[in-house]
Amino acid sequence: MTMAPTMQTTTAPTTAGNDARIDAIDKVMGRTAYAADRLPPRLAHAMPVTATIGKGTILSIDVAAASRVRGVLLILTHETMDRLAPPRFLFAGGHASQSHAVLQSNAVAYRGQMVALVVAETLEAATEAAARVVVRYDKAPFTVRMDDAGAERVGQARAFGLPAMADKVVGDADAALRAAGLVMVDRRYGTPPQHQNPIELIGTVAQWEDGRLTVHEPTQAAEAVRQGLAAQFGIDAAAVRVVSPSIGGGFGQKNALLPHTAVVAAAARRLGRPVKLVVPRAQAFHAASFRPASVHRVRIGAARDGRMVAAVHETESQTSRFDLMPALGTEITARMYGIPNFRGHEALVRLDTQTPGFMRAPYEMAASFAFESAVDELAYRLAMDPVALRVLNDTQRDPVSGKPFSSRHLVECLRRGAARFDWARRSPVPRSMRAADGSLLGLGVAAGAYKAATAPALARLRLEPDGSVAVSVGGHEMGQGIRTAIALTVSSVLGVAPARVQVALGDTTAPPQHLTAGSWGTATVVPAVQQAAAEVRTQLIALATGTPRAALHGVAVERIVLADGALGVAGGPSVPIEAVLRDAHRTHVDSEVRRLAPGQVDQAMERAMRGLPAAAGPEYPDFVAMSYAAHFAEVHVNPRTGKVRVVRAVGVFDCGRVASPRTARSQAYGGMIWGIGAALSEASEVDPAVGGFLNADIAEYMVPVNADVGALEVDFIDKPDFRLNAAGVKGLGEVASVGAAAAIANAVFHATGQRFTRLPIRPDDVVAP
C-alpha cells in the first residue's frame, strides 16, 4: 500500500475524444440492475401509511381492517415497531438525513411522515391494507412558510460555531457601501422549496441472514447507510452490508440514511424474510430531503467604471424544527468576483417539515440566482455590457482567504460563450429585440462557481493475464458517468479497452464508500485510480524487463507501450500480458492506493471509514479550488400569454480536464435543463392550512420536458488543474446548473423590461401589470 503524495505532476492520461459510455448498452437494454430489481425468494412487500396532518400526535391507530386484508404479514406502528437508537443528523456528527425517527413515538412532526408500515405477500395487498389503517390524531399548530408566525429564525454562524458556517467577511462591506458616488443595487430575491425527483424512486430491499443485514438501496453514501443502520440497530457495522452499484439519479435525495430504511430492515428481521419497499413518488416528497426555500438580500456598490467595491449578501434558508441544515450560498458569491469588501451572512428558519437537504447545487442555485440577477441589474445601471462587467471584476486570487485559485478560467468561459452565442447581436435596451414570430426576445448571461472538493479514496486495481482489469473504489454511479470516467482513466494508462474494465462501486465490501456528492466524485476517484493503474503499469513493465530471461529485457522503460493486452515497443517486438505474467510466475498484478485531498491527514480517511463526510475544499492549504460556468440564454416571451421559452442556451464550463467527454456533456445538459426548471416551473407548493407539500407528483411538480428545452450547446475549457490533483480534474455536476436560472431570468428582463426576483417565473407573473 502506498500513500499518494500530494506532489503534482504535469502529465495526465488523455481521455480526450474518447466518447465511450461503458454502461450505455446495458442501460438501454434494461440489463442494469437497480436496487428494486432485487427479488430474493420469499420477498415480502411494504407500503407506508403517512400522516395526513401538518403536525401533532397520534391518539390511536386502528389496524383491524388492514390486518384482515388477505396476504398481510405485519403492520408496524410506533406501538409495535422495535425500539431503535435515534438516528443522528448528518450535521450533528451522524449519518442520517434527519434526527427525527419515524415509528418511534406518537409524535407527528410534519405532514407526510410515515406513521405505519404494512408488509404483505404482494404489493397490491400491502397497498390495499395501508389504505385501511385508521389513524386518529390530535392536531397541533404548525408553520410551513418562512414569513408566517411560528417560523423560528436562527443565525447560522452562532448556532454552529464552526469556521465553515461562519459569516464570510472581507474588509468592511457595510461601511464601504455607505461611500458617496457608488452605483448601487439593493434587492430581495426568493426561491421556493424544490424536490429532486430522480427517475429511480427511493427504496430498500432488506434481508437478514444469521444476524447479518444486507440492504440493497439506491444511495450516494453506502458507507453512511451501513454505519447509520448499525448504530440504529446497535450491531457491529461489520454485520451490515449496503449495496448500491447503480442509481437512477441521486441529485442529493439519496445522500444520507433516510428514515424508511431502518423500518424496512426491522420488518425484515421480524418476519425472517426479505422485505422490499419502493416509496411511491407522492410519498417521496416527504420521505427524503428537498431544497429549502430561501430568501436573499443582495446589495452591491460599484464605482462608475464598473469596479465592484462592496457587496453584502444575506440569506435565509428553511430548516426543520428539529435539525439545523446549514446553507452555504455565500461561499460562492464571496468568491465570484474580486470584491474587496464583502459580507455574507446566513440565517436558518425552522419550519414544520422534514429536514431539508441537498439538491443539485443545493445552495448555489438560489445564491447565484440572487447574486447574478443583482450583477445584471448593476450592469444596466452602469450602462455596461453584462459580460464586460463580469470580466472587469474577475480575480485570480480568492478574496476570502487571500490564496490563489488553483485554476480559474471564468473569463475564458464568458468570452468563449459570448462568441459562440453571438452575444454581440444583443441590443442593450430592454424590450428592443423581437423574434420572427413577434415575441419579445431577450438575451441573458450569468456566471457560476462551485467548490472543487475532494474526499479520501482507497482504490484497488487488479490486472488479469487476459488484459482485463478489475477496479474498486469508494464512489457511486448515479448516472453521472463516474464508472465511465474510471474506465477511461484505466484504459489510458494500461492500454486496455474501456469495456474490459470492471468497475465496482457503491458496495460496502470495498470501504470506504464515502458519500458521492458535492461534485467531488471525479476529483476523488480518478486521481486514485490513475495512480493505482500507473503502479500496476510500473510493476508489469518491471516484470517484462527486469530479468535477463524477460521478454523485453534491455528495452528502455520509456519506450514501452501498453496496448490491446500486450506490451510492446513502437516498430519492435510485442509481448502479450499473459506471457509476461507466465514468465514471471504471476497470476496477476495488483495495487492499492490510499489518497487524501491536499492537506488532509489520516483522520480524514478514518472519518470516511466510519461513513462520515470527509471531503476537503474549496480551501486547501495553498490554494482555493473552484469550477466555473458561463451561461447564456435566449428567451422568447409571448407578450399576450406571458409564456417564456428558452429557445437556446450555451454553457461553457471550466471543470479542469474533462475526464469523460460524453458523460460530462450529458452532465452539463442536465445542469442547464435544471436551470430551465428552476427559472420557469419548479416549485414545491405549500399551503399554510394543510402543511407538507401539495403538488407531490411529477404531474403537478413541473420539471422541464423536451418541449420546454430549446437548443442546448455545451463547451468545455478542458484545461487540467494540476495544482488540485495529478489527473487535472475539478468537478462538474453542480457547477453545470449554477447560474443557469439567473441567465434565464436576466434574459427575461432583457426581453420584457421586468425584473423578476422570485422563482419560478410563471406566465401569470409575466402578464401581470
CA angle 698, 704, 708 (to 5 degrees): 140
Give residue number: closest CB to ligand MOS.
252
The residue whose grid cell reads 515497443 is: 569
Report how far residue 259's alpha carbon sits from residue 232's, in angstroms, rounded to the nearest whole number. Answer: 11
Q: Is 191 in the site for ligand MOS (CB under 6 A)?
A: no
Exposure of 660 by Cβ count < 10 A (0-12 exposed, 13-18 middle, 19+ buried)?
Answer: buried
Q: Is 252 in the site for ligand MOS (CB under 6 A)?
A: yes
Question: Smallest gap, in angstroms, from Cβ of residue 35 to ligand MOS?
Answer: 17
Nearer to ligand MOS, 203 or 250 (CB): 250
How many positions of this chain bind ligand MOS (CB under 6 A)?
Answer: 11
If DSSP states are collapsed to H, E and C, what string results for 174-201?
HHHHCCCCCEEEEEEEEECCECCCCCCC
Question: Smallest gap, in angstroms, from Cβ of residue 694 to ligand MOS?
Answer: 23
Question: Smallest gap, in angstroms, from Cβ of residue 256 to ligand MOS?
Answer: 9
Nearer to ligand MOS, 358 or 632 (CB): 358
Question: Smallest gap, in angstroms, from Cβ of residue 288 to ligand MOS?
Answer: 11
Q: Is 650 in the site for ligand MOS (CB under 6 A)?
A: no
Stretch that binds ligand MOS, among 120-128, 244-252, 322-330, 539-547 (CB under 6 A): 244-252
CA–CA distances in Å: residue 422 to residues 419, 425, 691: 5, 6, 47
Candidate list 280, 301, 362, 691; residue touching ligand MOS; CB under 6 A: 362
Determine how many CB atoms are found less than 10 A away from the CB of residue 163: 8
Stretch that binds ligand MOS, among 59-67, 128-136, 226-234, 353-361 (CB under 6 A): 353-361
| Site pattern 214..233 for ligand MOS (x: CB under 6 A) | ------x-------------
Candidate list 198, 218, 245, 250; residue touching ligand MOS; CB under 6 A: 250
Q: Is 626 in the site for ligand MOS (CB under 6 A)?
A: no
Candidate list 119, 517, 615, 680; residue touching ligand MOS; CB under 6 A: 517
DSSP labels for 198-220?
Answer: -SSPPEEEEEEETTEEEEE---S
Stretch that binds ligand MOS, among 145-153, 357-365, 552-560, 665-673 (CB under 6 A): 357-365
Report how far residue 512's alpha carbon sits from residue 680's, in angstroms, rounded to the nearest whole number. Answer: 40
Strands (E), 203-353: 203-209, 212-216, 240-243, 275-278, 294-302, 308-320, 341-351
Question: Smallest gap, in angstroms, from Cβ of residue 545 to ligand MOS?
Answer: 45
Nearer to ligand MOS, 290 or 405 (CB): 290
Nearer to ligand MOS, 250 or 442 (CB): 250
Q: Is 618 in the site for ligand MOS (CB under 6 A)?
A: no
Report how far residue 621's alpha carbon sits from residue 535's, in angstroms, rounded to the nearest whole number. Answer: 27
Candidate list 120, 359, 536, 540; residue touching ligand MOS; CB under 6 A: 359
Cis-peptide into 326, omega within 30 deg: no
DSSP letter (8 states) at residue 34? P
Which ranges of 610-723 would DSSP assign to H, the alpha helix? 661-680
Sign for the CA dihedral angle at 480, 483, 486, 488 comes to negative
Q: Residue 96: what residue type? A: A
Question: Smallest gap, in angstroms, from Cβ of residue 352 to ligand MOS?
Answer: 23
Nearer to ligand MOS, 87 or 521 (CB): 521
Candidate list 77, 214, 255, 484; residue touching ligand MOS; CB under 6 A: 255
Candidate list 34, 142, 285, 358; residue touching ligand MOS; CB under 6 A: 358
Which ranges of 105-202 would DSSP assign to H, the alpha helix? 123-132, 156-160, 173-177
Nearer to ligand MOS, 517 or 679 (CB): 517
Length of the chain: 769
Report how far residue 654's alpha carbon sits from residue 523's, in angstroms, rounded to the nearest whole number. Answer: 14
Question: Smallest gap, in angstroms, from Cβ of residue 666 to ligand MOS?
Answer: 16
Contacting positions for ligand MOS (CB under 6 A): 220, 250-252, 255, 358-360, 362, 517-518
